[in-house]
Structure 1
Amino acid sequence: MSDNKEKPEDKRERLRQEEIKRNLASNIGDGFNRAQSGSLVDLVGSLGWKGTGILIIVIIVGYIIVSLFFN
């Protein structure tokens, strides 16, 4: 794989930024909502597939421990 190839994460982010620049007026509401609550797409994109898998496992194990503790 050569160094001039763009990673999929970088390509998605570049395309997202270009879309925001083209449609600034239509994205104002989305921007306000993301600033307050965050976005699942941004979270998963920043973690990658390994981080997302670990997050899912931690949530499942946490749920199991809490359900055992309160039952």
Structure 2
Amino acid sequence: MSEDKETPGRRRERLRREELKRNPTGNMNDAFNRAETGNLADLVGSLGWKGTGILILIIIIGFIVASIYLK
């Protein structure tokens, strides 16, 4: 068996990464749609580190605002 051959799983992953690089805004929409089904790993993977940081900040700010108004 040749080591140059790409397995189907590796090929799918490579194509997915290439699509993420080509279309970041569409992938953010896909990530949020995937989040509705409960797959957090795909959400974070699609957003990247900047998007994940923004998401965490929004969650923290939401908790702060909720704690202030619900006292």
Query: Which one scores higher on RCO, CA 8 angstroms, separation ≥ 6?
Result: 1
TM-score (norm 1): 0.49
